[in-house]
Amino acid sequence: MQWEIVIGIETHAQLTTQSKIFSGSSIAYGAKPNTQANTVDLALPGVLPVLNKGAVERAIKLGLSVGAKINSPSIFARKNYFYPDLPKGYQISQYELPIVEGGCIKIQTGETEKTIHLTRAHLEEDAGKSLHEDFQGMSGIDLNRAGTPLLEIVTEPDMRSSTEAVVYAKTLHSLVRWIGICDGNMQEGSFRCDANVSVRPKGSETLGTRCEIKNLNSFRFLEKAIDFEARRQIEILEDGGSIRQETRLYDANKDETRSMRSKEDANDYRYFPDPDLLPLEIAESWVNQLNDALPELPEARRSRYMTDFGLSAYDATVLTSAREIAEYFENTLERLPGQAKLCANWIMGEISGRLNKDDTEITACPISPTQLAALLSRISDGTISGKAAKIVFESMWNGELDQNADAIIEAKGLKQISDDGAIEKMVDEVLAANAQQVADYRNGKEKAFNSLVGQVMKATKGKANPMQVNEILKKKLQT
C-alpha cells in the first residue's frame, strides 16, 4: 500500500523580551540557578501575574506577518498539572480565544511553493528545568526559565513529508528572526518544535491517529524523528495493528521515538480562564502602529527578487532566508546595479561557504557589502578573471590591505590582459607554434580549439581575458 504522511507542527518560540511574561525577572540565558526567579516565578503564596507588554507586542507582530486575525479580547487560561518545574501547579497559557488566530506561511521546496495554514498562535509561560545529575538520588530544580515568554505557533496538518516539515520550520525560524520576536537560538531552546505525525493510505481523506513528538530542538532531529515515527506507524499498520494516540520523545542517540509515560496523556488539564488576569484587549491603533513598523517580509522580498532582479526561486529563497543576508545582498547590489545574479552567486557561494567554514554569521562577515561590490565590479568590468577574483576574495577575507580589492589586484598582479593588440600578438605566436592543431581544427576537430585557448592562457599566465582570447582566436582561425 502507498502511505501518506500527515504532519502538523507546534513551535514554541521564546520571545526576545528583557523580562518574563508575568514578572520583572530577567530572562537572560545562562545565569546561576534560581538567581532569576523572583517571588512570582517561584509562585510564593500571594503573588500575582502582570502581563508584559513586550510579549503581547511580539505576538501581534507574528500575527500581522502571517496575515492572521488578532483577537481582541483574548483570554489567558490556566493549564493545571503537577510537575516540579511548574511552580504554580498550573501553566498560564491561552486556550479559548488565543491572541493570534489563522494566517498562513508559504514555503518553498525547490521550485515548488506550498501554503501551510496556521491554526493559532498563543502566549504562554515556559517552565523551569529539572537537572538530573545525582544529588543523593534527587533531582535539582532551576526556575530561572520559569515564566519566560513563549509564543506557541500551531499549524494545521498541512505537511506531507519530513522535508516539508523542515522547510516549514526553517521558514518560520527565519520569519521570527526576521521580525525580531525570537532569536531562534535552538541550542538554548529558544525555538523548539513538536511534530504531530500520522499516516494514512494515499488517497484517503480521513486523518489517521496521531502521535506528538515533543521538543525537537534541531531541524535534523525534526526530520529524523518524523521519518522514524512515520516508519514506525506504517509498520504497525501494515502488521494489522493500530496506533495509540500518545506523546513521544525523540532519542537522538538511538534515532528513535519512544512513548512518554501514558499518564501524561490521561491528564485532564482542567483549563479555565485565569481569574488573576483580565481579558486582553488590543487597540486597533496599536495593531496599526505595529503593522506600519513591520519590515518588508521575506515572502514579499523573495517575489520582488524574482520579478525585479530576475533571480530564480531558489536564489531568492536563499537570499531571504535571513534578514541580515537579504540586507547584505541589497547593500552589495546597490553598489553594483544590474548585477543581481553576480551578487547572488558570490553571496550564496564564496561568502556563505566561508561563513560556514568559520562558523560565523553574516553580521560578522569581515568583508563589507561595499568591499564585496568593489571586488565584483572588477570582474564585471573585465579587470580580473573569476579565478583571480577568488584569490582576491581570500586575501580580503584575511584582512589584507584593508580589504581593498584594487590594491590587492595591483599587489598580486592579477589584472587581466584586455588589450586586443597584446592578445593578438600572443594568439599569433600560439598559432604559429601549433600548426598541427590549427589544421585539426580546420578539419572539424572542435576539441583543438580548446587546446589552443589553453595555450594562449598559459602563455599569458592566465591573465588574458578568456572572452577576448576566444573571440580573437576564432577570428584568426576563420581567415
Partner 1 sequence: MTLSVNDVKRIADLACIETSESEAQATLGQLADIFKLIETMQVVDTSSVEPMSHAQDVVQRLREDKITESDQRDLYQSVAPQTEAGLYLVPKVIE
Partner 2 sequence: MFNASLKQLSTQLAERKISSVELTKEFLQRIKTLNAEYNAFITVNEALSLAQAQNADQIIAAGQANKLTGIPIAQKDIFCAKDWLTTCGSKMLSNFVSPYDAGVIERFNQIGAVNIGKTNMDEFAMGSSNETSFYGPVRNPWDVAAVPGGSSGGSASAVAARLAPAATGTDTGGSIRQPAALCGISGIKPTYGLVSRYGMIAFASSLDQGGPMAKSAEDLALMLGVMTGFDARDSTSLQRDSEDYTRDLEKPLSGLRIGLPKEYFAKGMSKDVECAVEQALDEYRKLGAEMVEVSLPNSQLSIPVYYVLAPAEASSNLSRFDGVRYGHRAKSYDDLNDMYRKSRAEGFGAEVKRRILIGTYVLSHGYYDAYYIKAQKVRRLITQDFVDAFKQCDIMMGPTSPTVAFNIGEKSSDPIQMYLSDIYTSAASLAGLPGMSVPIGFGDKNRPVGLHIIGNYFKEAQMLNVAHQYQLVTDWHQRLPTGID
Task: By CB under 8 A, name the binding residues for partner 1.
Answer: 17-19, 23-26, 32-39, 42, 44, 50-56, 73, 76, 80, 82, 84-85, 130-132, 135, 137-143, 249, 260-261, 268, 270, 273, 275, 277-281
Binding status of residue 41 toward Mg ion by CB under 5 A = no
> How far apart (Å, rounded) are the C-alpha atoms in residues 189 and 186?
5
Q: How far is the CB of 128 from partner 1 (least distance, A)?
A: 9
Q: How far is the CB of 193 from Mg ion (least distance, A)?
A: 11
Instruction: Name the binder of 152 from Zn ion, partner 2, partner 1, none, CB < 5-8 A by kind.
Output: Zn ion
> How far apart (Å, rounded) are the C-alpha atoms in residues 466 and 472?
10
Q: How far is the CB of 55 from partner 1 (least distance, A)?
A: 7
Which range of residues in 185-193, 268-276, 372-380, 457-465 is near partner 2 by CB under 8 A?
Answer: 268-276
* Set of cell numbers at residue 103: 494566517
Site string for partner 2, 89-128 (x = CB under 8 A): xx--------------------------------------
Binding status of residue 240 toward partner 2 by CB under 8 A = no
- Kindly identify the residues of this chain, within the stretch 48-87, that bind partner 2 according to CB under 8 A: 48-51, 78, 80, 82, 84, 87
Q: How far is the CB of 203 from partner 1 (least distance, A)?
A: 39
Given a contact cutoff of 8 angstroms between Cβ atoms, the answer to whether 347 and 325 are in contact is yes
Binding status of residue 126 toward Zn ion by CB under 5 A = no
Using only C-alpha atoms, what is the Rg of the chain?
A: 30
**522580498: which residue's cell?**
301
Name which position in 7, 10, 177, 408 contacts Mg ion (CB under 5 A).
10
Name 122's Cβ contacts closer than 8 Å, sequence gap at least 6: 59, 74, 93, 94, 95, 98, 99, 100, 151, 152, 154
Q: Is 203 left (phi over 0), alpha (psi -120 to 50) or beta?
A: left
Name 226's Cβ contacts closer than 8 Å, sequence gap at least 6: 5, 7, 162, 165, 195, 197, 213
Give the strands of the sheet with 272-273, arranged side by side. Answer: 90-93, 77-80, 272-273
Binding status of residue 149 toward partner 2 by CB under 8 A = no
**∠ CA 97-101-107, rounded to 5°:** 155
Total interface residues for partner 2 by CB under 8 A:
27
Instruction: Name the binder of 10 from Mg ion, partner 2, partner 1, none, CB < 5-8 A by kind.
Output: Mg ion
Question: Hey, what amino acid is at 276?
Answer: D
* Residues of this chain that bind Zn ion (CB under 5 A): 152
* Residues of this chain that bind partner 2 (CB under 8 A): 39, 42-51, 78, 80, 82, 84, 87-90, 141, 268, 270, 272, 275-278
